[in-house]
Amino acid sequence: MSLSDSESVVGRKASVSFPIPGGEQPGEVVVRIRGGSETYMAYCDEALAIGTDVVVLADRGARCLTVTPL
């Protein structure tokens, strides 16, 4: 992912597509971007269920994000 791609992901809304257990165990989110949607691994301090709306706080690199619930 290029720097310009990561900048465009941070601050965007996403939806949890695979449960996020919380802490350092990732789940998965879908971000609507560039006229489509892309899937990223995602981390959050708290557990999040499928369908939870989140916002992207940071790009961890290698298609991994830090998110927080809306």
Each residue's pLDDT tens digit, 10-51: 999 999 999 999 999 999 999 998 889 999 999 999 999 999
Query: Given this model, what pLDDT does residue 18 score?
Result: 98
The answer to whether 60 touches 9, Cβ cutoff 8 Å, is: no
From start to end of 1-70, where are the E strands? 13-18, 27-33, 36-43, 53-61, 64-69
| Domain coordinates in residue numbering, the chain | 3-69
Among the four given CATH numbers 3.40.50.300, 3.40.50.720, 3.30.70.360, 2.40.50.140, the one describing domain 3-69: 2.40.50.140
